[in-house]
Amino acid sequence: MAVSLLGPLVITTLLCMQTLADASCTDCFVQSRAEYYPNSEVNGTDAGACGFGSFGATINGGDVSAASNLYRNGVGCGSCYQVRCTNNTYCSDNGVTVVITDQGSGDGTNFILSQRAFGGMAQTSDTAPYLLALGIVDIEYRRYPNKNITIKIYESSSNPNYLAFVIWFQQGMRDITAVQLCETQNFVCKLLDRTHGVVWTTTSPPSGPLSLRMLFSAEDGEQTWVVPSSNIPEDWKAGETYDSGVQVDK
């Protein structure tokens, strides 16, 4: 199941296995428009503003997007959205789930999708070329929990002197605005810096297995700390990914 932010501290040990087919919150979709990178590879870009690097092209199977207003100075990076177009001739009911990996603006669009993701909104592979030919389409979207929040250790990291990582697959209606790393033995915590996009860094990180704490903030000012049950191991390595074991749906 997913985790609802109902208290000041939420600790979960459960994984969310929800799929697009299970989605029923039809009243939380927002109307907008979407286009796609016409000169890009089928997957995403490896030079996105979010700081994902080469993984920005292949994360989520290449179903990625640049965002304009939803980028929000990088805080929106890594967020998951269900996006579905509204053309009944070509578009499927479920659409596609994308991850924000870049910043971009278009002709009144909130999303600039990879070609793969744009075609993924089609009913079938046969109708995808017709959808792509439209270039810009009306859509509706919502934040969507589809995968566990995941930590990707930056290649520049060096254990134990310097740690930098990005956070993939943000969900829910809130943004991650602060991150702490805590020693699991004595609970000494260190607040991390966000350098750009969703790249969180620290020199001299705490030692031992590390407990991650993420501050989720809402537009109305409400804030909640979420502590995944899965720790970053003591022998963390540059380039590795670590599953937090948690999803947030509120």
Instruction: Decide: 244 and 149 in contact? Cβ < 8 Å.
Output: yes
pLDDT of residue 50: 93
Instruction: Decide: 72 and 175 in contact? Cβ < 8 Å.
Output: yes
pLDDT of residue 60: 92
- Residue owning tokens 């004595």: 186
Six-digit token string for 181: 């790393």
Domain ranges (residues) in the chain: 30-143, 149-245
d(CA 29, CA 26) in angstroms, rounded, equals 6
Three-state DSSP class for residue 80:
strand
Q: Read off φ and ψ for residue 150, nearest 5 degrees.
A: -125, 140
Per-residue pLDDT of the chain in tens (250 residues, 90 and over written 9): 344 343 333 322 222 223 333 334 434 899 999 999 877 678 888 888 999 888 888 899 999 999 999 999 999 999 999 999 999 999 999 999 999 999 998 888 999 999 999 999 999 999 999 999 999 999 999 998 768 999 999 999 999 999 999 999 988 888 999 999 999 988 899 999 998 888 999 999 999 999 999 999 998 999 999 999 899 999 999 999 999 999 887 7
Q: Read off φ and ψ for residue 78, nearest 5 degrees.
A: 85, -5
Contacts of residues 217-222 at CB distance under 8 Å and 24 or more positions apart, as own/partner, are 217/174, 217/175, 217/176, 217/177, 217/178, 218/173, 218/174
Total-model pTM: 0.80
- Gyration radius of the chain over CA positions: 18
pLDDT of residue 18: 31
Six-digit token string for 248: 């947030």
Upstream peptide bond of 160 is cis (omega within 30 degrees of 0): yes
pLDDT of residue 102: 94
pLDDT of residue 120: 97
H/E run at residue 225:
strand 223-228
Instruction: Decide: 77 and 100 in contact? Cβ < 8 Å.
Output: yes
pLDDT of residue 63: 94
pLDDT of residue 163: 98
Question: Superfamily for 30-143?
Answer: RlpA-like domain (2.40.40.10)
- Architecture category of domain 149-245 in CATH: Sandwich (2.60)
pLDDT of residue 79: 92
Three-state DSSP class for residue 241:
strand
- Residue owning tokens 């700081």: 51
pLDDT of residue 125: 96
> What rounded mean pLDDT belongs to the chain?
86
Local structure of residue 203 (DSSP, 8 states) = E
pLDDT of residue 77: 94
Instruction: Decide: 206 and 181 in contact? Cβ < 8 Å.
Output: yes
Question: How far, rounded to the nearest angstrom, does the alpha carbon of residue 73 sit from its chain's CA centroid?
Answer: 14
d(CA 232, CA 238) in angstroms, rounded, equals 12
27: which strand partners?
A: none
pLDDT digits (tens, 9 = 90+) for 18-33: 333 333 443 489 999 9
Spatial CA neighbour of 134 closest among 72, 90, 68, 199: 90
Instruction: Decide: 21 and 29 in contact? Cβ < 8 Å.
Output: no
